[in-house]
Amino acid sequence: MRIVGLCGSLRAASLNRALLRAAAASLPEGATLAIAEIGDLPLMNEDLEKPAWPAPVQRLRRELWAAEALLVACPEYNAGIPAPLKNAVDWASRAEGLGGRTAPEGETRRTPLARLSVAILGATPGSLGTARAQQQLRGVLLSCGCRVMPGPEAYVGSARGKFDADGELADAPSREAVARVVAGLLEWARG
């Protein structure tokens, strides 16, 4: 199964990018997780859609069209969804058909997010573990037609102490929570 990961943080040493790496390490044979880059996306602007999607948007949409599932690592900024992540979702939620663009051959969905199975997790230095941002993101993704997995969930709070010097998730309970989310997503996407 091909899973695409979105990291809501653009930092090179992002805890959420490290969380996606931990998720990838817990995948069974035959499943892959590739992180789609979102830092080069322009701000969502309908004027930029014509005559074609900007190149970074085309790349993201191609990656999402090819995905069988989506795993989002959502940090929490000011009790909400980080702007880069919301911007990526906004670009991915745009319907095909504008300016003569069409979905990939044989695709029946109008957007790469429609009916896509999604799980959300997140890490933060704060104690609440991105619960508020994940709840907001869940609502946004549901409005885009995603099949958002109801559980299990992973909120990695006080995260700086849970990663080692190499940026690997060292905290066993957090690793187990991430593995449960990944296993749940695989089952959710097959169902």
pLDDT given at position 1: 97
Q: Are strands 154-156 and 117-123 parallel, antiparallel or unpaired?
A: parallel
DSSP 3-state percent helix, strand, coil across the chain (nearest 5): 40, 15, 45
Residue 135: predicted pLDDT? 96
- pLDDT recorded at residue 63: 97
Determine the Cα angle at 90 with ends 96 and 51, to 5°. 45
Q: What is the mean pLDDT of each run of 10 residues along the chain (191 residues)?
A: 98 95 97 98 93 92 96 95 98 79 73 96 89 97 97 93 94 97 98 88
Classified by CATH at the fold level, domain 2-190 comes out as Rossmann fold (3.40.50)
